[in-house]
Structure 1
Amino acid sequence: MTIDAIEVAALKADSFGRIALMRDGDGLFVRRDLAHVPLWLRLPAWWLARREALALGRVHGLAAPQLLRWDGRRLDRSYLDGAAMYQRPPHGDVAYFRRARRLLQQLHRSGIAHNDLAKEANWLVLADGAPAVIDFQLAVCGRPRARWLRLLAREDLRHLLKHKRTYCPQALTPIERRLLKRPSWLRQAWFATGKPVYRFVTRRILHWEDNEGQGPKP
């Protein structure tokens, strides 16, 4: 029962909520709490948390957090025993990237495009070496074969292949290399318009520097 839950460790706190590792009678879980979000950011924080809850509701049985509870203020999801990709780099681990691609295919067949996989912090290396994906705040849900979702799914794959190029370049296939060289119009539009706005809001207004999910810059 969540009423008996106790905090084990604070994991992250930003303008859109506080994330903590919790424990209750059923074991460990992760909670995003919006209680301390500034008043002027509560609507976007709620929207992002609700978006994550909707996506997590579709990932049953996959290597991703499972939705436990969402009451409009607190989002509870299952705990995954692992470390971020940059903390436990899968150098030369062909099996990891093969399984990661299979995981992406499963997510996309479930009608989910993650939309934030450029960040290594959103890829986990689990205790057994398998991949998992976290942080679904920006995920898009829809019909798996919808054109828009397929375009976003392609970008998910490109981000995975970038990580593969970093940690396991010798395993890239000719088709994967060609895909890396052909960014979609969506990516080009994002870098031309959306990215500058994102940087201005996160860095100038929210004073948030996370180095694409790899922790604060020195």
Structure 2
Amino acid sequence: MDDRGSVEIRALKADSFGRIVLMRRGDMLFVRRDLRHVPAWLRLPARWLARREARGLEAVAGMADVPQLLAWDGRVLDRSYLAGHAMYQRPPRGDLAWFRNARRLLRELRRHGLAHNDLAKEANWLVLEDGRPAIIDFQLAVRGRPGSRWMRLLAREDLRHLLKHKRTYCPDRITPVERRVLKRTSWLRDAWFATGKPVYRFVTRRLLKWEDNEGQGPKP
């Protein structure tokens, strides 16, 4: 990867799977996920996650309010920068328009054959400088045929996570239909809580020593 003219502005996040930094090249700001200093025993999962992110960003090429893939060489992933704040930093409290636009954004993801799979974390939702919603961090994204049962199930889980945030920040604007969606859990969610989540907590909290608060995620 040609790094000539690229300057690191500041670190946004660093964990066992790499560093995420804000970069500048000329007049362009972009975000870099750098795996070059990942410990040897974590390189395989780190590259697997970054490769998933690259494939997810390829699926949404040209779509508004999501990052655009700039480069991926197996060690460094560059994506476009979206100016804004994470949901927990600038909560869309009482902002019904934000949640309506966020739901449209999820529908657009579905049309592109993509499910995000990590939208419970407020850190993965942005409030852009003009107030629009945006979505970042596609490491767990899944690509598939938009109309398939599997992708419909994953899209429903993405929607449930958005509605949970709406219940937090716009509790008086939850509709009866949305309440039913929130109450109706899927077998996928139940299986995750019964099996996957205990393993995730053990790995991230005991082995990797992350302090992840579930909703917000690790903060910069």
**TM-score of Structure 1 vs Structure 2, range by shorter chain:** over 0.9
* 1:89 alignment partner, SS class: coil
Match of 2:192 among 190, 209, 212: 190
Give the Cα–Cα distance (whole angstroms) in 1 for the partners of residues 153 and 86 of structure 2: 26
Give the Cα–Cα distance (whole angstroms) in 2 for the partners of residues 62 and 107 of structure 1: 10
Match of 1:70 among 72, 92, 97: 72
Shift of 1:149: 1.1
Give the Cα–Cα distance (whole angstroms) in 2 for the partners of residues 216 and 208 of structure 1: 7
Contact 1:84–1:124, Cα closer than 8 Å, also in 2: yes
Contact 1:16–1:42, Cα closer than 8 Å, also in 2: yes
Counterpart residue identity of residue 185, structure 1 = W
Contact 2:121–2:217, Cα closer than 8 Å, also in 1: no
Shift of 1:125: 0.2
Give the Cα–Cα distance (whole angstroms) in 2 for the partners of residues 102 and 75 of structure 1: 27
Q: Deviations over 1:1-36 (max 9, x none)?
A: 632100000000001110000000241000000011
Structure with more relative contact order (C-alpha pairs < 8 Å, separation 6 or more)? 2
Structure 1: state its 5+ residue gaps: none
* 2:46 alignment partner, SS class: helix
Normalized against structure 1, the TM-score is what? 0.97
Partner of 1:2: 3
Shift of 1:86: 0.6
Partner of 1:109: 111
Partner of 2:148: 146
Shift of 1:214: 2.7
* 1:88 alignment partner, SS class: coil
Give the Cα–Cα distance (whole angstroms) in 2 for the partners of residues 65 and 116 of structure 1: 15
Counterpart residue identity of residue 63, structure 1 = D
Q: Which runs of 4+ in 1 moved over 6 A?
A: none
Q: How does 1:128-143 map to 2 (within 5 A)?
A: 128-143=130-145
Structure 2: state its 5+ residue gaps: none
Counterpart residue identity of residue 185, structure 2 = P
Say what the alpha-carbon RMSD is for the aligned residues: 1.3
Contact 2:122–2:217, Cα closer than 8 Å, also in 1: no
Shift of 1:171: 1.4
Q: How does 1:151-190 map to 2 (within 5 A)?
A: 151-190=153-192
How many residues are aligned here?
217
Shift of 1:146: 1.4
Q: Deviations over 1:17-68 (max 9, x none)?
A: 1000000024100000001100000000000000000000111222111000
Contact 1:122–1:213, Cα closer than 8 Å, also in 2: no
Contact 2:53–2:140, Cα closer than 8 Å, also in 1: yes
2:87 equivalent to 1:80: no
* 2:88 alignment partner, SS class: coil
Shift of 1:130: 0.3
* 1:56 alignment partner, SS class: helix
Shift of 1:199: 0.3
Give the Cα–Cα distance (whole angstroms) in 2 for the partners of residues 28 and 212 of structure 1: 29
Give the Cα–Cα distance (whole angstroms) in 2 for the partners of residues 159 and 82 of structure 1: 20
Q: Deviations over 1:73-104 (max 9, x none)?
A: 00000000000001001110000000000000
Give the Cα–Cα distance (whole angstroms) in 1 for the partners of residues 15 and 40 of structure 2: 14
